Structure 1
Amino acid sequence: MKFKRKIFLEKGNLDMVPLIDIVFLLLIFFMLTSSFVFQPGIRVNLPKAVTSEVLNRDIVVIVVTDDEHVYINERPVTSEELISIITSLTGKNSSLLIKADKNAPLGKIIDIWDICRQRGIKQVNIATTQ
């Protein structure tokens, strides 16, 4: 005698809620553990130039903001301090980099440039973005 078996295959339902929970937790984990690099400093919108070059050596950076504040190596300075610092750099055969905001008054940048040329600094560079 041969018995006939009744085999019923039930179609399984895959529950999506645990899968969504795991993906959400992984997303939160990677967002919280990733490190964001923020460069501290003074916010300046540099003008764009096609023919700019990259400077690789350590130079003194003068930053001019759009509201005419002047910083040397991220330290605010007055006009008298600016002149004395530029005068102290005269004998060291150094170069300067002027990072001026594109909305900064041109007269302020020219004044700094003239101070540098009067004090004998030959190489004055202006920072741009490419």
Structure 2
Amino acid sequence: MQLNPRKEEEPEINMTSLIDVVFLLLIFFMVSTTFERQAALKIDLPEASAQEEPTEQPRQLELAIDAEGRMFLNDAQLVDNRPATIRSALAELAGEGRELPIIIRADAQTPHHFVVTAMDVTGQLGFTRLSIATERVDDAQP
């Protein structure tokens, strides 16, 4: 009878298979992820500040859209809200000046697709200075 105790071996965890699984998951998520294509039109969002506006403003185009989707370019109502109508009105009023700033003023109840259509047409015409007008809201109001 042998009563000498055996030396216990330290348990060993093999990390190789765990690392392989992690890499496979990483590759799976990288391959299956869809990437959203960003639009080429850059938008300058308006900044709200308490400073006074300059008295002399550069020439600009203002496209207003009411709640029913009627469009007004510099206070003149467009015949309809089709992209071709918007395109021809902007091209006629701007001429070759594609550096003119365009301000889109949309009613809060305007359907989203009218604003997107206006932005798309301005981008197709080559306008790069686009702003969306907003109203300043005080946070202190309940």
Name the TM-score class by shorter chain. Answer: 0.5 to 0.7
What TM-score, normalized to structure 1?
0.55
C-alpha contact 2:46 2:131 (8 A) present in aligned 1: no
RMSD: 2.4
Q: 1:115 to 1:50 in 2, by over 3 A?
A: closer
Q: Is 1:106–2:102 an aligned residue pair?
A: no
Partner of 1:68: 69
Where in structure 2 are the equivalents of 1:36-115 lying within 5 Å? Answer: 51-52=47-48, 56-77=57-78, 78=80, 79=82, 80-88=84-92, 89=94, 91-92=96-97, 93-115=99-121
TM-score (norm 2): 0.50
Determine whether 1:125 maps to 2:131. yes
Same amino acid, percent of matched pairs: 15
Unmatched 5+ stretches in structure 1: 1-48
- Between the two proteins, the alignment pairs up a number of residues equal to 82
**Aligned partners of 2:89, 2:75: CA distance in 1, in Å?**
14
Give the unaligned 5+ runs of structure 2. Answer: 1-44, 137-142
Name the structure 2 match of 1:35: none
SS state at 1:86 partner? helix
The 2-side partners of 1:72 and 1:50 are apart by 19
Summarize deviations over 1:63-113 as a string: whole Å, max 9, x none: 000011111111110234321122342621211100000110111100000
